[in-house]
Structure 1
Amino acid sequence: MMASPALALLEFHSIAGGIEAGDAMVKRAPVEQLLSGTIQPGYYLVLVTGEVADVVEAVDAGVLTGGDCLRDRLLLPNVHPGVVAALRGERAPGAANAGAFNALGIVETSTVAAAIVAADAGLKGAEVRLNQLRLGDGLGGKGLALFVGLVSDVDAAVALGGDAVADLVVRRTVVSQLHDEMWGNVNGSGRFGDHFAWPPV
């Protein structure tokens, strides 16, 4: 997804406003990459990567253009590689019998941007891996950062990640020795309907 140090994401509650802001961002600065699109329940995300100064300039343009359509935003000048991997869909293994990964930590946030910030803070501050980063779709626009590791490390990651976005945390928790059957469910898609082949919403 990226080789440059900075990542930013703007989250809009208007699709039209998000498209307009994304256009302003890519016109303002020579970012390495711009990715955008809708998530449920009708929000619009614009993600940019590149050199720090260019990304900062693009974010300024997006915020100015998006105005009151802006729901949340993040700017990570030195994003953790684990966050980038999770955004690509990679997952750290998590199972009750996975040796050092004997705890699951969850930071649930009210916005997508907040979940990414929480994941970055937890990874930078504790010896954990990111099991997965779930964003928006199927979550009513919320985000989930799931950490795995030793209980003490996962405790630290959840505390740091949650504190980084405190006013946007829905709930944070650490589960020690999660049961194998729950690991199977957590490591799946996360959608209840997938157990019964319900069509995606």
Structure 2
Amino acid sequence: MRADMAGDIEALGLLEIEGMARAIRAQDAALKRAPVVVLACAPVSPGKAVLLFGGDVASVAESLADAEAVAGSRCIDRLFLPGVHPSVVSAVQGKRSARASETLAVLELNSLAATVLAADSAVKAADVALGRLHLATGFGGRGFFTLWGAQSHVEAAVAAALAAAGERALDHEIIPAPHDEIDQAAFVRPWPLDPANSAS
């Protein structure tokens, strides 16, 4: 399975782990347990690492269990997301959707797991486009994502995201008719989640 084939990924597994060394060991356990695709195993601020992988539901569940067992007490947060929306898989790989409508929403959350869960809930709840999903790097361990759509759809999507995230939601804004300069270029990550992935 290729990591860029979002439609082939049925589920996501995510662990936030204290320390890169333990994260790499957990990655090894996940890969040895079942045929999953690692989308990221990278350091994120502050002093944590994210391990994110996808595959079929059974494989992700098995690999997540083994990786979490290896992470042990250093596991800070976890997410098992069966039936993940394809746009979320694309977004966690750094792909961005162009401005699709006239209302923008920005949601900020206190963890990576909450960010992915809330984004998935949003795009499943209403006819909105997931513009950008940013996980922790250069943002103090927080995450945020953007949504585009008709205002009523954006409002419904935001409500679903906030319900899924609960107390892990930190802030959100809905911006009707944003200025033309507030587009995807305003949310470009200055470096990839895992710089090693872009090394020649």
TM-score (norm 2): 0.84
Is contact 1:6–1:51 with CA below 8 Å preserved after alignment?
Answer: yes
C-alpha displacement of 1:188: 4.1
TM-fit CA distance, 1:33: 4.0
Query: Is structure 2 residue 122 aligned with structure 1 residue 122?
Result: yes
Q: Counterpart in 2 of 1:170?
A: 170
The residue that corresponds to 2:21 in the other structure is: 16
- Correspondence 1:1-201 to 2 at 5 A: 1=3, 2=5, 3-33=8-38, 35-94=40-99, 101-181=101-181, 183-184=182-183, 187-189=186-188
Cα displacement string for residues 49-103 of structure 1 (whole angstroms, at most 9, x for unaligned residues): 1121111011111222212211222111111111112122222222xxx6xx111
Q: In 2, are the aligned partners of 1:158 and 1:173 still within 8 Å (CA)? A: no
Q: Secondary structure at the match of 2:41?
A: strand
In the alignment of these two chains, the number of paired residues is 185
Q: CA RMSD in A?
A: 1.9
Q: Does structure 2 conserve the Cα–Cα contact (< 8 Å) formed by 1:26 and 1:34? A: no
- Secondary structure of the residue aligned to 1:27 is helix
Other structure's SS at 2:121 match: helix
Gaps of 5+ in 2: 191-200
> Distance between the aligned counterparts of 2:79 and 2:105, measured in 1?
22
Would the alpha carbon gap of residues 146 and 63 (structure 1) be closer, same or farther in structure 2, given more than 3 Å must change?
Answer: same
Q: Unaligned regions of 5+ residues in structure 1, if any?
A: 192-201
Contact 2:131-2:184 within 8 A present in 1 as well:
no
What amino acid is the match of 1:124?
K
